[in-house]
Structure 1
Amino acid sequence: MRTSLRILFFISLLFMLMFDFSFAQSEEKKIKQIEERIKRLELEVLKIKDINEQREQMVREIEALKEEIRQLRLEVAMPEIELKSYFGLGPAASKIYYTPRGLSIAGYGEITYENYIDNSKTDRGDVLRFVPYIGYKFTDNIIVNTELEIEHAGIGNVGNRNPEIYVEFLYVDFILHPRFNIRTGLFLIPTSRMNEFHEPPVYFGVLRPDVERFIIPTVWRELGVMVYGEFTKGFSYKAGIVNGLRTDLIGDWIAGGRQRGATINFDKFAGSFGVVFEVVKNLTLASSLYYGAGSDKAGASERGSEDARFSLLTTEGGVQLKNLSIKGLFAYGSAKGNDVYKSRSGRASKVYGWYLEAGYNLIPLINPETVISFAPFVRYEKYNLNKNVFTGNLDPTKDRSVFTIGLDFKPHPQVVIKADYQIRNTASNLPAGKGAGKDEWKIDQFNIGIGFIF
């Protein structure tokens, strides 16, 4: 009996040990299974992470390919010229700076038609300008850049056949350092950005703004020496000393006194300083100051008796918000002179002008990848060519406003077709019209133009 109990005890103990061993084995197997699942999950997590990184990389590559496609479109459209500005010059005028070596030929042209909404003034068509640029790069540091301007098909007037061919600029650039370079010769004065950046595809409107034609007399060039460069990236300057103005050719304001490098009166000097701030993306701010003297008579002639001082301050800003372009400018000018200069009636002692414009390119809403542009625009200008005068009465016909609404179509980045309507007004009480007892500057007009650069 005792033996049977012992055998039963050992069998029970063995069964328990076997059960414990089997249970332990089962638990170990489960742990291994869980560990394997954890490893598989970790691998899945790593795969997901890799997929996300790959997705981000693919997005970057897609954006790079889009930019490459855009550049290729531009290269197909513009095999010879990249639309870049060198220190404020127009794209075509800047071509020589991006030419590897030797000769560079570029240019622009524009043809206009002006339909006056009054029978007293004859409508006008004009080969307004053809401008070839010829540049030569001797080395990366010595560059000659020239512009020859042929206005009104080369003939100022069909009747007397006055020639209208000018050397717009002719200078030598010594490129020394991003912060300091030297330009000497006949060059464009940095009085406003448009004075240097004025090729047809780069601004709205068939005609340049009145403020940029009469208050700021674009295109304004003189003979002298200028230094230019960048204080920091996106913050550039220009400072020059040039000849003064010729006062006997000045009417109300300084446009007639520009000497343009032709047998100039060089006994008076002027200084010009301009800065452009483009540090913030898509925002451009600029300001300039011109201050100089003037006297009458041409160079090498008998000395005259007039003496005067002139100043012109400009400030402007522009912003590009995707397809929307906005620009504004303000200019203020003043003059002082001796009694001989002040004795001529109508000469202004103070002038001012401003404008605000906006345009929106509609094409990217339809096709974001194309280089074609179609932009409606509006502009309002206000300016006064005799805010104050030295002698005589104020002329209200010179206190003017212009509202322009138009379209700017570029089938190619270097070709533009423009159309606009201008509503003109002045402070005078005279009726609109050309002739005695009428105000020509109240005549509205419809304009069409085509322009190009190459």
Structure 2
Amino acid sequence: MNAPPVRPNPLRAALSTALLSVGIAGEAAAAQKMPSVEELWKVIQQQQQEIEALKTKLGQTETVQKEVKQEVQDLKTASKGEAPSEPGKPADEAGKKKVKSESDRKTDILAAEVEKLKTSLIIPEKREYKSMYGMAPAASQVYMNKRGLSIGGYGEFFYTNFQNDGVEKSLQRKNTADMARLVLYAGYKFNDWIVLNNEIEFEHGSTGEGSEEKGEVSVEFSYLDFLFDPRANVRTGLMLVPMGFINEIHEPTFFHGNRRPEVEQLIIPTTWREMGVGVHGEIVPGLVYRAYGINGLNAEGFDSFGIREGRQGGSQALAENLAFTGRVDYMPPELPGLMVGASTFLGDAGQGNVFMTAAGPQKPNVFTQLYEGHLQWHYRGFEFRALGAWGGIGDAAILSEAKGETVGSSNYGWYVEGAYDVLPWLWQGTTQYLAPFVRYQRYNTLATVPDGFTDYDGLYDRRIYQAGLTYKPITNIVIKADYQNISSGAGQLPGQFNLGVGFIY
């Protein structure tokens, strides 16, 4: 090993330098008088003072270096949210203030960046809108967060002008303007595999005023997802029934027309949600499923319009009879934009209720079944949808007698829809969207009726011809205009001209 270097003694070096200088001077000028001991001592003292001054400056430099090192450590500590340690006292107070001021500036910058990072976890500067785990794009934002709180929502409002020409007076309607709904999504991602998702909806611009038609506040869904494996995950809580296009994905920027299709309001009720537990996942690429056990419908709400008012929505829901609902969709990887699928709902809706009839009180077995198939295809600017559904209601005769109106033994509905984004042909490179669309609907909530009951001369057998425009200046906002011509087996019904705006965030 090499020996450590020997540090020269400043006093010895000064003395040697002085003696050497004196010796050289003596040799060069022998005739001059040799300096006295006192004079040599003065030279040595002067050298020693210079050395001490150098040592003092060196000490000051080391102090400043320590101070700077401490400030750097404090910056690191502050970025972690911890209290900084007490810095040592520098020799130069002016130097300390200068360093501290710079430290404060850097700390402020770091604090601002940390706050910006925390905020971006809740409200990211840029969002990607895509459906995940069966939920609508804005409702899926919580799944895209790494952790913590996520907020979002949607809303829609529109004006309806009813065309009453040629319509029986009792069926005529007045024009309306409606803040249809304002929705808040509030989700929380606890970790990589546990997610809470909630939707709270305000309808018709009010909290009810004693009437649901005047508005209400509702929990549209509130569930926990346990994401164990892409092929099998568990969901529980107040969940959307996975049927049709609209019930799960009902944000206004993702369907044409201001009002949701009537087939997906009456035959497949929206928004239909119930308490339960189930599984969902992707079996192979493109093949996804959802299967839930939920509380059944309540037949006390069934009427001539079908099962819609039998939804319980998690509000003190009767669970004497449970139900099963399931869905399968296939999106072939080799055909992007194509989706085909089917869904079903099966369950007794009697819920132990007693219905009064001429034969006395009865507890009917109101077995309710609903089957649905759908196809969707997006190719470049072209969009196509087709959906068909059929439903059956058991013991409809008992219900009809007890309620004093006809409840159909079976019902059905279907529609086809086409749209095309024409704006790229008019404005190359644009990110905006403008699509004319057409839709034809046919449904009948009294397709078959119990013996002895009327179908009201085909009043609930309806056909709807619809056309309109859908314009999106940006992805988050849609402006819609559409016209509906509605007829029934009993005659013409009021047509509708609808103009509205929708948004997601």
Q: Quote the Cα distance in structure 2 between the aligned partners of 1:92 and 1:243.
A: 27
User: 1:193 is paired with a residue of what secondary structure?
Assistant: coil
Q: Is the 8 A contact 2:396 2:407 kept in 1?
A: no
**How far did residue 367 of structure 1 move?**
3.6
2:496 to 437, 445, 448: 445
Provide the residue aligned with 1:346 in structure 2. 406
Q: Which residue of 2 aligns with 1:331?
A: 389
- Aligned with 1:189 (options 222, 225, 241): 241
How far 1:79 moved relative to its partner?
3.5
Paired residue secondary structure (2:300): helix
Q: 1:161 to 1:247 in 2, by over 3 A?
A: closer
Cα distance in 2, alignment partners of residues 161 and 117 from structure 1: 22
1:163 Cα deviation from its structure 2 partner: 5.0
Change (3 A) 1:178 1:273: same
The residue number in structure 1 matching 2:324 is 271
Higher relative contact order (CA 8 A, sep 6+): 1
Give the CA deviation at 1:305.
2.9
Residues 362 and 161 of structure 1, relative CA distance in 2, 3 Å threshold: closer
1:255 to 2:315 alignment:
no
Q: Take 2:383 and 2:125, find their aligned partners in 1: how far apart are those partners?
A: 27
Counterparts of 1:32-181 in structure 2, within 5 Å, are 79-118=125-164, 120-156=172-208, 164-181=216-233
Q: Is residue 291 of structure 1 aligned with residue 346 of structure 2?
A: yes
Which SS does the other structure have where 1:95 is aligned? helix
Query: What is the aligned counterpart of 2:282 among 216, 220, 230?
Result: 230
* Cα offset, 1:337, TM superposition: 2.2
- Cα RMSD for the two superposed structures: 2.0
CA 161–333 in structure 1, closer or farther in 2 if over 3 Å, else same: closer
State the Cα deviation string for residues 259-283 of structure 1 (Å, max 9, x = none).
0000011110110110111113121
Shift of 1:154: 2.4
- Distance between the aligned counterparts of 2:381 and 2:209, measured in 1? 41
Change (3 A) 1:91 1:368: farther
Q: For the residues of structure 1 that align with 2:314 and 2:429, how far apart are their CA atoms?
A: 45
C-alpha distance in structure 1 between counterparts of 2:280 and 2:213, whole Å: 40
Please name the residue that 2:45 is paired with.
none
Q: 1:82 to 1:184 in 2, by over 3 A?
A: same
- Does 2:378 align with 1:317? no
Query: Aligned partners of 2:442, 2:213: CA distance in 1, in Å?
Result: 35
Residue 161 of structure 1: how far off its partner (Å): 8.8
Deviation, 1:83, is: 1.1
Aligned partner of residue 251 in structure 1, secondary structure: coil
What amino acid does structure 2 have at the position aligned with 1:286?
G
In structure 2, C-alpha distance between the alignment counterparts of 1:94 and 1:169, rounded to whole Å: 13
The verdict on how the C-alpha distance between 1:421 and 1:158 changes in structure 2, with shifts beyond 3 A counting, is: farther
* Structure-2 separation of matches of 1:132 and 1:153: 14
Residue identity opposite 2:161 in structure 1: N
Aligned equivalents of 2:213, 2:385: Cα separation in 1: 39
SS in 2 for 1:357: strand
Query: Among residues 439, 459, 476, which one is paired with 1:414 in the alignment?
Result: 476
- In the aligned structure 1, how far is the partner of 2:340 from the partner of 2:143? 24
Partner deviation per Cα, 1:409-439 (whole Å, 9 max, x = no partner):
000111000000111111114xx4xxxxxxx
For residues 312 and 187 of structure 1, the distance between their equivalents in structure 2, rounded to whole angstroms, comes to 18
Matched to 2:327, the amino acid is G
* Residues 390, 412 of structure 2: 8 Å contact kept: yes
Distance 1:376 1:338 in 2: 41
Distance 1:133 1:146 in 2: 6
C-alpha displacement at 1:99, in angstroms?
Answer: 1.1
Structure 2 contact 188–196 (Cα < 8 Å) conserved: yes
- Describe the SS at the equivalent of 2:263: helix
Q: Any conservation in 2 of the 1:143–1:174 contact (CA below 8 Å)?
A: yes
Query: Which residue identity does 2:424 align to in structure 1?
Result: P
Q: Give distance in 1, aligned partners of 2:314 and 2:210.
A: 26
| Separation of aligned partners in 1, 2:428 and 2:375 | 26
Deviation at 1:318, TM superposition (A): 1.0
CA deviation vs aligned residue, 1:268-302 (integer Å, no higher than 9, x gap): 0110110111113121111101111112578xxxx
Q: Sequence identity, in percent?
A: 36
Residues 107-130 of structure 1 show CA distances to partners (whole Å, capped at 9, x for unaligned) of 000001110012742101100000
Distance in 1 between residues matched to 2:418 and 2:206, nearest whole Å: 34
1:237/1:160 Cα in 2 relative to 1: closer, same or farther (>3 Å)? Answer: closer
Distance 1:165 1:159, change over 3 A: closer
Distance 1:173 1:304 in 2: 40
Q: What is the CA distance between 1:249 and its match in structure 2?
A: 1.4
The 2-side partners of 1:417 and 1:229 are apart by 34
* Residue equivalent to 1:213: 265
The correspondence of residues 7-18 of structure 1 with structure 2, limited to 5 A, is: none
- Give the partner amino acid of 1:205: G
Does the residue aligned with 1:97 lie in a helix, a strand or coil? helix
The match for 1:403 is 465
Q: Secondary structure at the match of 1:93?
A: helix
Partner of 1:194: helix, strand, or coil? Answer: coil
For residues 79 and 368 of structure 1, the distance between their equivalents in structure 2, rounded to whole angstroms, comes to 27
Question: How many angstroms apart in 1 are the aligned matches of 2:266 and 2:342?
Answer: 18
User: Which letter does structure 1 place at the counterpart of 2:363?
Assistant: S
User: Partners of 2:330 and 2:253 in 1: how far apart?
Assistant: 22
SS in 1 for 2:132: coil
Change (3 A) 1:269 1:319: same
Shifted more, 442-451 versus 111-120: the winner is 111-120
Stretch of structure 1 that moved more, 91-100 or 114-123: 114-123
Paired residue total: 362
Structure 2: how far apart are the matches of 1:160 and 1:145? Answer: 25
| Residues 1:447 and 1:365: Cα distance change in structure 2 (over 3 Å) | same
Instruction: Give the corresponding residue for 1:37.
Output: none
DSSP 3-state at the match of 2:204: strand
Q: CA deviation at 1:363?
A: 1.2
Contact 1:243 1:265 in 2 (8 A): yes
The higher radius of gyration belongs to 2
Q: Which blocks of at least 5 consecutive residues in structure 1 are unaligned? A: 1-77, 433-441
Query: Relative to structure 1, is the Cα distance of residues 232 and 161 closer, same or farther in structure 2, using a 3 angstrom cutoff?
Result: closer
Secondary structure at the residue paired with 1:206? coil
CA–CA distance in 1 between the matches of 2:429 and 2:321? 53
Cα distance change, pair 347–87 in 1 and its aligned pair in 2 (3 A):
same
